[in-house]
């Protein structure tokens, strides 16, 4: 019996990276999955899951669209008869745009997916979870939401908002039996960070990737997926309202710790 045996789970941003790794791991652990992404990669994810013997259905949807969120949550209920957990993982980076060149539209695009998307997932999933008296929600934040310097302004602000959303929602769920937490990835090798890795490899400086953290390396999507598995499983039954960095120790110290000044 897997740690998610028989559980109905939704993962957004399942078309690649962390979402795909989580989709494969969760279904290996017995989850029945609704994999959501706005790209065609979600179909490849589901194909990989099924080849491995897992149960999954693909939904092409926009995690920042209220109608789409309502639809894929309804799909989980229709397909599996219930909803036990949701990972609001979908996100966009927005790049590094100088402050003076940022536009309201640029901010709105990022906030719509990165912050409003998790809000919508919470809003429409919680009635089902509360009704059955148990369930778990996970949101993908970022180390950029914990400290400055990890990304651009709108991305960092959106992820700080996710952390606050998780913390405030935890109290809104008091007494319901439903838990919510966040993971805060550091430098993970995904499609979003591909330009960083490709650029370093082209310059022959890939040995420097991840050197700012104590583990001296970048992370891989499966390392986030394993944390997500724990937080959405019954093993984390007393873990609620927290934001966990998965960053090789990057946020464990100040920038100059251990370095001569």
Q: Mind telling me the catalytic residues?
A: 155
- What SS3 class is residue 150? coil
Rounded CA-CA distance 239/26 in Å is 19
The neighbouring-strand residues paired with 60 are 37
Yes or no: say if 169 and 121 are a contact pair by the CB < 8 Å rule. Answer: no
Burial 33-62 (b: 16+ CB within 10 A, else e): bbbbbbeebbebbbeebeeeebebbbbbbb
Nearest Cα to 139, choosing from 172, 110, 107, 116? 116
């Amino acid at each position: 019996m897997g740690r998610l045996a028989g559980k109905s789970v939704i993962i957004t941003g399942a078309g690649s990276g962390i979402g795909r790794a989580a989709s494969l791991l969760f279904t290996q652990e017995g989850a029945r999955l609704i994999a959501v992404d706005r790209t065609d990669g979600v179909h490849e994810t589901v194909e990989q899951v099924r080849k491995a013997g897992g149960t999954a259905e693909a939904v092409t949807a926009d995690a920042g669209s209220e109608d789409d969120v309502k639809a894929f949550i309804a799909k989980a209920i229709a397909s599996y008869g219930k909803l036990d957990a949701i990972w609001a993982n979908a996100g966009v980076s927005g790049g590094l745009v100088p402050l003076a060149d940022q536009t309201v539209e640029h901010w709105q695009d990022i906030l719509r997916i990165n912050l409003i998307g998790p809000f919508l997932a919470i809003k429409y999933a919680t009635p089902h979870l509360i009704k059955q008296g148990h369930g778990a929600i996970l949101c993908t934040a970022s180390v950029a939401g914990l400290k400055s310097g990890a990304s651009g302004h709108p991305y960092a602000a959106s992820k700080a908002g996710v952390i606050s959303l998780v913390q405030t929602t935890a109290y809104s769920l008091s007494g319901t039996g439903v838990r919510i937490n966040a993971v805060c990835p550091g430098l993970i090798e995904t499609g979003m960070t591909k330009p960083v890795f490709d650029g370093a490899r082209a310059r022959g400086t890939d040995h420097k990737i991840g050197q700012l953290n104590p583990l001296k390396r970048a992370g891989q999507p499966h390392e986030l997926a394993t944390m997500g598995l724990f937080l959405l499983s019954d093993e984390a039954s007393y873990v609620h309202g927290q934001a966990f960095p998965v960053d090789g120790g990057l946020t464990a110290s100040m920038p100059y710790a251990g370095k001569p000044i």
